[in-house]
Chain A
Amino acid sequence: MLKISDLHKSYAIGDTSLHVLKGIDLSVEEGEMVAIMGSSGSGKSTLLNIIGMLDVADSGEYILDGLPIDNLTEKKAAVYRNKFLGFIFQSFNLINYKNALENVALPLYYQGLKRKKRQELGMFHLGKVGLTDWAHHLPKELSGGQKQRVAIARALAANPKLLLADEPTGALDTKTSYEIMEFIQQLNDEGKTILMVTHEEDIANMCKRIVRLRDGVIMEDKKVTQVRASQYV
């Protein structure tokens, strides 16, 4: 599904350059649920951004679903992001003047789907996250957990191959975090490949595999027994 080899990335800071990723090798199979952990500055967000085609590596190879991701124009990157990837952010990043349904349907708009079809699919995915009744509410009328569920519905709407989550529970309380995790686990059970960055041990343990980064290299990469979130809810 995903194969990364010898990935390097550095940022220029003034005259010096900061070497953030120092040769990452990672491969993820379909249906996996991987937590990327590390302290801040370990390079975990940079790695996720590169996987999400929001950032470009300096060197190394990145193959997504058999497709080498290399030398992308902005236009092509937009198409790939739309087709292959679903994003879930820590701060939800919903568009504040669009209601829940419109937010969910936005990726479908960029796929060029007709309005009616978009509404239909949007409602379907909102239903999956249990927010059918909230379809016409603006984000400010939703709780944090609800917002994140809308964001998840939006990430799912385009039926991506890979779901990328950047600290999806970072802005939520423990109870809501577990609810969201329960939901993400369900998605994984249904076969979605999920990659998430987190620095919370308990959240990471709800994945099936933990990759630990420190100072730009992978320190540890191990499979774990998944802790089901449902037992805490």
Chain B
Amino acid sequence: MFDIDLWREIFQSINKNRTRSILSGFTIAFAILLFTILFGIANGLENTFIELFGTDAKNSIVIFPGRTTKAHKGLQSGRRIRFKNEDYNYILEEFGDNVEYITSKVNRNVEASFKGEKNSYQVRAVHPEHMYIENNVVEKGRYINNRDLQNRTKVAVIGNAIKEDLFIREEAVGKYINLNGIPYKVVGVFSDDEGDNEENVIYTPITTAQRVYGNNDYVDFIHLTYNPKLNYDQAIAFGNSLTRKLKNKFDVANDDQRAIRVRNFAEGTRNVSQMMFVLNLIVLFVGSGTLIAGIMGISNIMVFIVKERTKEIGVRKALGASPRSIVSIILLESILITSLAGYVGLLIGATVLKIFGPGLKDYFITNPGVNSGVVIGATIILIISGALAGYLPANKASKIKPIVALRDE
């Protein structure tokens, strides 16, 4: 219910005590300002970490084969470990529940040419699920699919950067690109928000690469993402047991670090998210501490205002003001001062972040800022704070007896 007369009353009363209202709002404005800046900086730190990781899935596990460095079960050290298709299947069989997406990879450098244009690029032969692991976005056409795998078709999905370099202004999808002398049909163009590096890549079906590069079923390495339902500890345990089982399968000593290497992103992610958690906790602690101080300040001033206005409230009651109307005047005045002051703080904070934000890149802070969620949250918190600050004084005001208030001193 919007009662314009009630608001008129409140504005009149705030206006009458302008200096005092501004002063009492100052603490709140400062609290929100502090909170906004701290929060923005914490956000900036988080952004930096996210940027470091790229947009690749943060639940990645990459498994590389290498050479043994220890003799084990009668086998010499220096033996080369090679993954094959059966290892891909083995992982799926053993750990299917823990795997979200999985792809085998064969990487080669190739000379690619289209008409007169020529350049060298990396070919990554993959499974279709690779798209989700790498967070590729198909701009045009399609990605590698299962039919490609079965038929070992010579198709290629090229990055945006390649399309621009080789095809210049021509449509790429449907054309044939020459990779080391073999023509591949371009079926799709993708983009990757990690930039040119990741877009100077050509994807082909893994099965095609295996036939073209030696007619075998070798796999250079396996990249998978673990089930996002796993927490960090479970994910790390999964990575460890994956390593153990594979080492066992290849007759590698358990303490042989080079033969099979498993890079589990969960370990890094866990550390970062733990750090962010602690950082956010500190921000929240400092911010809410200041806010509470602000609420106390407003409450204090409102108690004083009520005391000063005792006589006026008595008169109002004698003239027929209900206790409720008195409560709403005090409460709304408190909420209004709190919210206005809070928004001033938020505005200043956001402006400061906007002006100084870009200069903080050197200090490990990227794009500090507050999003609309924070603004909405702050609004709710401010209204609640205002209500809290006004509750006691309003209650006091409603209990004023007109006969006491009107007694002539």
Contact = CB atoms under 8 A, between A and B. Distances in A.
B321 A110 contact: yes
B320 A158 contact: yes
Interface in B245-264: none
B318 A52 contact: yes
Interface string A174-213: 0000000000000000000000000000000000000000
Interface string B157-182: 00000000000000000000000000
A75 B324 contact: yes
A78 B406 contact: no
A90 B5 CA distance: 29
Given A81-B318, A107-B319, A154-B319, A115 B5 contact: yes
Nearest to A112: B5
A78 B12 contact: no
B402 A54 contact: yes
B127 interface: no
B408 A91 contact: yes
Contacts of A106: 316, 319
Given A90-B408, A93-B406, A97-B12, A110 B320 contact: yes
B315 A93 contact: yes
Nearest to B311: A93
Interface in B263-316: 311-312, 314-316
A83 B408 contact: no
Interface string A98-135: 10000000110111000100000000000000000000
A106 B316 CA distance: 8
A26 B323 CA distance: 31
Interface in B350-409: 401-403, 406, 408
Contact of B323 (A74, A82, A91, A96): A74
Nearest to A171: B408
A83 B323 CA distance: 16
A106 B13 CA distance: 14
Interface string B79-106: 0000000000000000000000000000
Nearest to A114: B5
A79 B319 CA distance: 9
Contacts of A94: 315
Contacts of A52: 318
A102 B402 CA distance: 20
Chain B at the A interface: SS class: helix
A87 B323 contact: no
A221 interface: no
Interface string A8-29: 0000000000000000000000
Contact of A79 (B316, B322, B402, B406): B322
Given A95-B312, A110-B325, A89 B406 contact: yes
B315 A95 contact: yes
A54 B406 contact: yes
Interface in A56-89: 74-75, 78-79, 81-83, 87, 89
Give the interface size bracket for B toward A: 20 to 34
A141 interface: no
B154 interface: no
B322 A87 contact: no
B320 A83 contact: yes
Contacts of B324: 75
Interface in A22-64: 49, 52, 54-55
A226 B408 CA distance: 29
Given A93-B315, A97-B12, A97-B13, A78 B321 contact: yes
Contacts of B401: 54
A95 to B, nearest CB: 5
Nearest to B399: A74
A94 B316 CA distance: 10
B147 interface: no
Nearest to A155: B319
Nearest to A93: B315
B323 A78 contact: yes
A49 B311 CA distance: 16
Which of B16, B312, B317, B320 has the most C-beta atoms of chain A within 10 angstroms of its own C-beta? B320
Contact of B319 (A49, A87, A90): A87
11 contacts: A75-B324, A79-B320, A83-B320, A90-B408, A93-B311, A97-B12, A107-B319, A110-B320, A110-B322, A115-B5, A154-B319
Given A74-B323, A78-B322, 12 more contacts: A54-B401, A54-B403, A75-B324, A78-B323, A83-B320, A87-B319, A93-B314, A95-B316, A107-B320, A109-B5, A111-B320, A158-B319
Which 6 A-B pairs rank lowest in CB-CB distance, beginning with the nearest? A82-B320, A110-B320, A97-B16, A54-B403, A107-B319, A78-B322
